[in-house]
Amino acid sequence: MLTSVELSGRELGMMKLMADFFAEKPELATRIESYTTAHYALMTTYSENFGVPVEDAWKVFEEVERKVNEGEYIHVEAPYPLKKWYGLSKEEINMLRVLTDYFSANPRMSPESAFAATRTESIIEAYKWFFGTTEGNGEYARESYRNLMEKMQTALSVKLETLAPVVATPNPYEAVLKLLQIAGEKLKLDPGVHEVLKRPMRIIIVNVPVTMDDGSIRVFTGYRVQYNDVLGPTKGGTRYHPDLTLDEVIALAAWMTLKTAVTGLPLGGGKGGIRCNPKEMSPGELERLTRGYTRALARFIGPRSDVPAPDVYTDSQTMAWIMDEYSQIVGYNAFGVVTGKPVDVGGSLGRNEATSRGLMYTIIEAAKHLGIELRGTTVAVQGFGNVGFHAAKLLHEFGCKIVAVSDSKGGIFNPEGLNPADLMEHKNKTGSVAGYKNCRALSNGELLELECDILIPSALENQITKANAGKIKAKIVAEGANGPTTPDADETLYKNGVFVIPDVLANSGGVIVSYFEQVQNQMNYYWTEEEVRSKLENTIVNAFKDVYEVSEEYKVNMRIAAYMNAVKRLADAMSFRNRKTLVQVAEARNVAFE
Ligand code: NAD
Tens-place pLDDT, residues 247-275: 889 999 999 999 999 999 999 999 999 99
Beta bridge partners, 476, equal 454, 499
For the CA of 389, the closest atom of ligand 1 is: 26
Identify the residue with better confidence: 388 or 90: 388
> pLDDT tier at 447 (50, 70, 90 boundaries)?
very high
The winner for highest mean pLDDT among 20-29, 193-202, 358-367, 464-473 is: 358-367
- Our answer on whether the CB atom of 408 is closer than 6 Å to any ligand 1 atom is yes
Ligand 1: which residue has its CA nearest to atom 35? Answer: 481
State residue 579's pLDDT score.
56
pLDDT value, residue 117:
62
From ligand 1's centre to the CA of 85, what distance in Å? 42
Q: Burial of 191 by CB count in 10 Å (0-12 exposed, 13-18 middle, 19+ buried)? A: exposed
Cis peptide before 200 (omega within 30 of 0): no
Nearest C-alpha to atom 16 of ligand 1 is from which residue?
408
> What is the percentage of the chain residues whose pLDDT exceeds 70?
92
- The per-residue pLDDT for range 191-209, each reduced to its tens digit, is 989 999 999 999 999 999 9
**Candidate of 243, 341, 359, 407 to mutate for ligand 1, largest count of ligand atoms within 8 Å of Cβ:** 407
Q: Please say if the pLDDT value at position 594 is more than 60.
A: no
pLDDT tens digits for 55-113? Answer: 788 888 888 888 888 888 899 988 777 778 888 888 888 889 988 988 888 788 877 64
Report the alpha-carbon distance of residue 156 to residue 527 in Å, rounded.
54
- DSSP annotation of 103 reads T
CA-based nearest residue to 480, from 494, 449, 501: 501
* Of 34-43, 325-334, 454-463, 506-515, minimum mean pLDDT range: 34-43
Q: Which residues have C-beta within 8 Å of that of residue 20, sequence separation ≥ 6?
A: 28, 153
3-state secondary structure of 82: coil
Q: What pTM, to 2 d.p., does this model score?
A: 0.74
For residue range 212-247, what is the model confidence (pLDDT) as tens digits?
Answer: 999 999 999 999 999 999 999 999 999 999 888 888
For residue 455, the one-letter residue type is L
Sorting pLDDT into bands at 50, 70 and 90, what band is 115? Answer: low
Task: Provide the pLDDT confidence category of residue 319 given band limits of 50, 70 and 90.
Answer: very high
* Residue of 231 and 588 predicted with greater confidence: 231
Average pLDDT over residues 310-316: 92
pLDDT at 129: 79
Decide if 7 contacts 155 (C-beta within 8 A).
no
Helix (H, G, I), strand (E, B) or coil at 207: strand
More confident residue, 12 or 134: 12
Contact 190, 51 (CB under 8 A): no
271 annotated active-site? yes
User: How many angstroms separate the CA atoms of 88 and 100, rounded?
Assistant: 15
The residue from 67, 128, 151, 271 that is catalytic is 271
